[in-house]
Chain A
């Protein structure tokens, strides 16, 4: 298999958001250049190990890639091009925080080759933005969006977070409508997840933050899905919606088992049936790469049962669902547990695929577990009749 995508982690942020568990640092702007140099070195080193073939996608994620000077992004892209090369229709995405950008920066990013923007708006409601501890206002986000357009970004995505405690349902709905009215090509709508080690997790433990009930969370999610779909955004993944043909090719690669290389702090890769990941401490990362030592922290082989489970757990997240082997098709066709999942409109069997039905999206993980579980049972099944 050929390397499909490249993920480049930029771990710098203007501030650390209280919900965020991504590898991100604040107040270390003096490290930008040193870090980018390390990235380039890591890329060169990886280039020697892995087959060099033109990449389909490059993704600058974070952290906040727009925290560093666009010329540094350009420097990385030059290295990428030298080491791997890029296809003529390569998708190069940059994640951007609306509080760190202006027209000039966007233009600069365009000029170094970036052609897709993922704007971390989170909400168009100022109260929600405050709750989420964001540095920017709704107005700044709207300005950032139009600057991006003005700079020539014709492929822009907006990130939104729903199920934020104490944010009213009308406020959330208004936020979604506002996003739609801007006519981006792509919208990601994430349910707020309380991540271990974040300020939100601490506040929740202390009883200071009361998360939404599962029911309310599900209601917001399903409302959002339906609203976005009726506005012409097709749902192609649990949290991702796009206008026709504007799906993120990079992210789709994660769900469909394509190979990707990740470089930078705590970046993850999947190549040749193995997953591996880098260390997440900045000093050690820099020192290792500078000392020509691999910054890899761990590695695991994904095969046999694990590979099959991943195929289901990841594939089921997408609108294409999971491609089934003939044997799997046979089992699912005659299994009574499967029949009840279909009856409940959780799943659908379509020729050689199993896909989420409308009520299945909000239960995708549970359903993936069900599916792998029933496929792993020996064929005779249970003595219960359907």
Chain B
């Protein structure tokens, strides 16, 4: 295909603004999929994506479009996720494109990831096509949202395309705009090969499948290529394009998006962001690539049954193959036994991994409360990283504890500024400034400790602004603070997996609330459960779960044993995900108690 007739673009937006639905319409209009293949948000192919109705992985797909000028164009579209945890998927995708369709939900207006994803696109020098979606809905506020978009982007009102992705209105205008406004790729076919790996996936039979954007040159089957960062060379086994499935083609040329396999056994060997080039080529400048991903949130994952340890390890290994953002390493907990400390990009990412373990690998797991990574400066001057609160050194050895601080932007209608201020204040936020987007909406900037954001910040923010606030964040720095460890004792023994690192000023109140929540979550059992919160040697909170005093039904009705059994089976089911701790049992929910505390 003549590069002048190739268009590479992503669809970007805040979560739920309708990216995947728009992608459906584009696939339909270009007859890329047969009627039978079509279903809602067809690109969201993972079970979890379909169930939750959100996109988790970016998804590339090729279509051919006959434009009004009579020419056939090749579109390489990448549908991206909107959730803040998966911003990295957006930035990867953008690097493979010349343009981006920015979707804005006309009933919601500009939201935080509208702004942050737009900024990402502009940093990549992409052409932006602003699209106003969901205009079929009675709640659509077309004029005012158009104004918001103009305030953000500048430009002319007619450049904004109004559509309904669901009802299929305005789709032709989007297709034409892609042809007219987005520039064709600028690569040189004659130059030596340079291709960017923007995503990868592990396939049991083919090894690693690299999703690539060829920037310069051509890559074809049988060619010897070399990966810049490892220097390892491979024989290309197959190249092809991505329709709904992979379709092999003889070659991919500069400007094209597609996939490549070369019998690569480890995901690490084909790092996302790496440059693929001709083997033996010395002079080639590597492509810019991406910032390496750094886990923000950590949590322990343990098998409920110790003998499932191996099974859990295998499952984590396989998950990691398809999710470079996920990391894990073995750890041991006196209370929970052998398990893993896992790193995630955010809470949703964590939830998803946990759910996949349960569902796809059927390992029953106990997960501990998520926490952040701390830096501890010891009196000796040594600096250590602590990803597990129970491993904080004794207070006497500590000079300083530093925690990650985020710079956070919260986009909110002005009416809710007070509510947002209050939440951030309660969460040790440092207010920086307010920037009004227009008369009715503002972006508030704060610095907030990540640890305060990790635990139900988003839910709280949403609920106290009636769902209107949206937020975006980035890591700012590690900062020292008066942080100390709260230990939880169960019947006098510390349960390491429940330890938390908290701010000293909040310790008393937090510790009490935490113990109270644990009391609610730990069911009554045969033995008494005494829950204590301790800072160092000082007990700051105490709660008791009283044991059963009477637990037996008086009579089985005329031989109706089935009914009795069902009652007991229910009692037994409650124990399924509990961990034995001395004489008592602690259920999985208790390990996540801190997530369930109200302010």
Give A63's nearest chain B residue, CB to CB: B558
Residues on the A chain within 8 Å of B568, using CB: 309, 313, 365, 368-369
Q: Does the CB pair A365–B558 fall under 8 Å? A: no
Most buried by B among A193, A277, A362, A384: A384
- Tell me if A260 is interfacial: C-beta within 8 Å of chain B: yes
- Chain B residue, CB-CB nearest to A269: B559
The answer to whether the Cβ of B550 comes within 8 Å of any Cβ in the partner chain is yes
| Chain B residues within an 8 Å CB radius of A329 | none
**Chain A positions within 8 Å of B575 at CB level:** 369, 373
Interchain CB contact under 8 A, B583 and A193? no
Q: Which residues of chain A in 354-386 are interfacial with respect to chain B, using CB atoms and an 8 Å cutoff?
A: 361-370, 372-373, 377-378, 380-384
Contacting pair B558 A7 (CB below 8 A): yes
**Most chain B Cβ neighbours within 10 Å, of A267, A341, A382:** A382
Separation of A327 and B96 alpha carbons in the complex (Å)? 63
* Interface residue B156 (Cβ < 8 Å from any Cβ of A): no
- Tell me if B280 counts as interface (CB < 8 A to partner A): no
Given the known interface contacts A306-B565, A313-B564, A372-B572, the answer about A366 and B548 at a Cβ–Cβ threshold of 8 Å is yes
Evaluate whether A309 and B561 lie within 8 angstroms (CB atoms) in the complex, with A340-B527, A363-B548, A384-B582 already known.
Answer: no
How many Å lie between the Cα of A378 and that of B303 in the bound state? 13
Contact pick for A262, options B559, B569, B571, B579, CB 8 Å = B559
In contact, B306 and A383 (Cβ under 8 angstroms) = yes
Residue of A nearest to B525 (CB): A366
The reply to whether A362 and B552 contact each other, CB–CB distance below 8 Å, is yes
Query: Which of B305, B552, B560 has the most CB atoms of chain A within a 10 A radius of its CB?
Result: B552
Q: B581: which A residues are within 8 A, CB to CB? A: 384
B432 within 8 A of A: no
Bound-complex Cα distance A268 to B560 (A): 6
Q: Which residue of B lies closest to A253 (CB)?
A: B559
| A268-B559 in contact (CB<8A) | yes
Which of A134-142, A165-173, A215-223 is found at the contact surface with chain B?
A215-223
CA distance A22 to B551 in the complex (A): 22
B173-205 contacts to A (CB < 8 Å): none
Q: Which of B335, B554, B557, B565 contacts A191 (CB 8 A)?
A: B554
Q: How many Å lie between the Cα of A214 and that of B548 in the bound state?
A: 8
Whether B551 lies near A363 (C-beta < 8 A) is yes
Nearest residue in A to B305 (C-beta to C-beta)?
A: A378
* A9 within 8 Å of B (CB atoms): yes
Check if A341 sits within 8 Å of B561, measured CB to CB.
no
- Scan residues 300-322 of chain B and give those whose CB is less than 8 A from a CB of chain A: 305-307
Report if B481 contacts A (CB, 8 A).
Answer: no
Q: For the complex, is A61 an interface residue (Cβ under 8 Å from B)?
A: yes
Complex: A86 Cα to B307 Cα, angstroms: 53
Interface size classification for chain B: 35 or more
Q: Are B549 and A366 in contact, with the CB atoms below 8 A?
A: no
CA distance A251 to B376 in the complex (A): 68
Residue picked from A61, A217, A370, most chain B C-beta under 10 Å:
A370
Contacts of B580 in A (CB 8 A): 337, 382, 384
In the complex, what distance in Å separates the CA atom of A74 from the CA atom of B560? 26
A190 at the interface (CB under 8 A from B): yes
Most interface-central of B307, B336, B559 (chain A CB within 10 A):
B559
Q: Which residues of A contact B247 (CB under 8 A)?
A: none
A43 within 8 A of B: no
Digitize A275-315: 1 where CB-to-B-CB distance is under 8 Å, 0 elsewhere: 10100000000000000000000001000001001100110
Q: Which of B516-575 contact A (CB under 8 A)?
A: 525-527, 548-562, 564-565, 567-569, 571-572, 575
Contacts of B549 in A (CB 8 A): 214-215, 217-218, 362-363
A361 to B330 Cα, complex, angstroms:
44
- A21 CB–B CB distance under 8 Å: yes
Min C-beta distance of A275 to chain B, whole Å? 6
A270 interface residue, CB < 8 Å from B? yes
| Known interface pairs A214-B550, A380-B307; A9-B565 also in contact (CB < 8 Å) | no
Shortest CB-to-CB span from B301 to chain A, Å, is: 16
* B231 adjacent to chain A (CB < 8 Å): no
Is A344's CB within 8 Å of the partner chain B? yes
- Tell yes or no: A238 within 8 A of B by CB: yes
Contacts of A275 in B (CB 8 A): 561-562
Whether a CB of chain A sits under 8 angstroms from the CB of B467 is no
Looking at the assembled complex, report how far the CB atom of A61 sits from the nearest CB atom of chain B, in whole angstroms: 5
A269 and B554 CA atoms in complex are apart in Å by 20
B495: shortest Cβ distance to chain A, in Å? 11
Instruction: Tell me which of A317, A367, A383 has the highest count of chain B C-beta atoms within 10 A of its own C-beta.
Output: A383
Q: Given that A362-B552, A363-B548 are known contacts, is A370 also in contact with B526, CB under 8 Å in the complex?
A: yes
Shortest beta-carbon distance, A232 to chain B, in Å? 22
Among A268, A313, A346, A372, contact of B558 (Cβ-Cβ < 8 Å): A268
Query: Given the complex, which residues of A lie within 8 Å of B393, measured CB to CB?
Result: none
Given contacts A313-B564, A341-B526, A373-B575, contact A238 B559 (CB under 8 A): no
Residue of B nearest to A306 (CB): B565
Knowing that A22-B557, A382-B579 are A-B contacts, what are 4 other residue pairs whose CB atoms are under 8 Å apart, sorted by A's residue number?
A277-B562, A306-B565, A344-B526, A366-B552
Binding site for A on B (CB under 8 A): 305-307, 335-338, 525-527, 548-562, 564-565, 567-569, 571-572, 575, 579-583
